[in-house]
Structure 1
Amino acid sequence: MSTVIEQPVEARLVAAAPRMPSIPATLHYDRRDPFAVRMTFPAPATLEGVDVCWTFARDLLVDGMEEHAGHGDVRVRPYGYERLVVEFHAPEGTAVVHVRADEVRRFLDRTTEEVPLGREHLQVDLDHDLAELMRDAA
């Protein structure tokens, strides 16, 4: 059974890309990929003029609610109690956005109701996934 959770969030662009003070981004969670979340930005907010989707660990978002988290392409940290800073690093440059912490907290609450933290591995069907890999390799 697949359950997808989507949560619109208002992102305020701090650096990079075309000037847009507010971007209607969307957070996504799918229990078929229980360790990951996606954050999608609409075409008008990107340099390429197409929707852009970043996929990263749900734990990164959870940890970033309390302290600086991440060392790679996506980094998250609190900015006071009301906001989070999310940095997206790519070869083309870096985009820094502020999102409301309460919107992210509501999203994370919904995802943990669906798949509790630390129980993600129970959603993964390794036999099925391995069979799919082997089928694709043949």
Structure 2
Amino acid sequence: MKLIADEHVSPKIVRAVCEMALSRRTFSLETVIGNGDFSGQDDEDWVARFAKSGGHGLLSADRRMLRRPTLIKQITDTGLVAIFLPAEWANSRCAYQASHILYWWPVIESHFQTVQKGTAWIVPKGHGTGELRQYVGRERSQKAAATG
């Protein structure tokens, strides 16, 4: 499965995951940074191109992406699985970022393999108990409330 991390996840963190935790028989993980096919483009553009190139999932530390209905619709329409790190993750020290992502990586990999395509998930903060939480946008939650 082909995965990509956006520009809010340091290439050093991507490298650490690849070297220490990634199940290489099943996954490949690359970064948008310095990638000629995706770097320097708007999120909507590189996400669409990544999906068309056989991409399966994206990893992001930019929770603002969740407030963009067109981007969430694109993730849904292309069948990508999106995993978002906690809001404070991007502003944390590199050591915390590395320990957090390595701690949660087995669960993240499992989600990339087993959850419904076209969904977005949020990783809990900290190094404790918890589960990834599915993101449900306002439109979907309002539709569910209206039909329920």
TM-score, normalised by the number of residues in structure 2: 0.28
TM-score, normalised by the number of residues in structure 1: 0.30
Q: Which has the higher helix share?
A: 2
Greater C-alpha radius of gyration:
1
Q: Which has the higher strand share?
A: 1
